[in-house]
Amino acid sequence: MQTQIQLTFRSIAHSDALAIHLQQRADKLDQLFDRILWCHVVIELGGHHHRHGDRYVFSINLGLPGHEIVVTRSPATGRDDETAYESADRAFDEAARQLRDWVGRRRGSRHEEVGR
């Protein structure tokens, strides 16, 4: 990745272990497209349930040449026991899916331009 991931922790304390995990997941996105300009991840406490614990909301903002991908992942219904790591992985999985789609569309449009 051209730039380091930017992390913002809201309503929760900074966690070095979670930050390392998020950096590793962002590095995997770089394997899909190596010209990512920025990656900003916001982690916030989405609520607390007395039986199921904390619920986390993740927002991922990827800057690409001429495009931006924004993913917001709220706690899944029925998955109240989801950890911060599981929530992060689900958000990054969605970001990876959108990035693959965008790269595929971009490659497809280049092939159309070359064929003209």
Q: What is the pLDDT of residue 113?
A: 46
Sorted by where each starts, the structural domains of the chain and their CATH numbers stand as 6-115 (3.30.160.100)
The predicted-structure confidence for 59-105, as pLDDT tens digits, reads as follows: 999 999 999 999 998 876 555 568 889 999 999 999 999 999 999 99
User: How far is it, in rounded angstroms, from Cα 22 to Cα 24?
Assistant: 5
The predicted-structure confidence for 16-43, as pLDDT tens digits, reads as follows: 999 999 999 999 999 999 999 999 999 9
pLDDT band at 2, cuts 50/70/90? low
Amino acid at 21: H
CA distances from 81 to 27, 30, 47, 63, 88 (A): 27, 30, 12, 31, 14
Contact 10, 45 (CB under 8 A): yes
What integer is the mean pLDDT of 43-62? 78
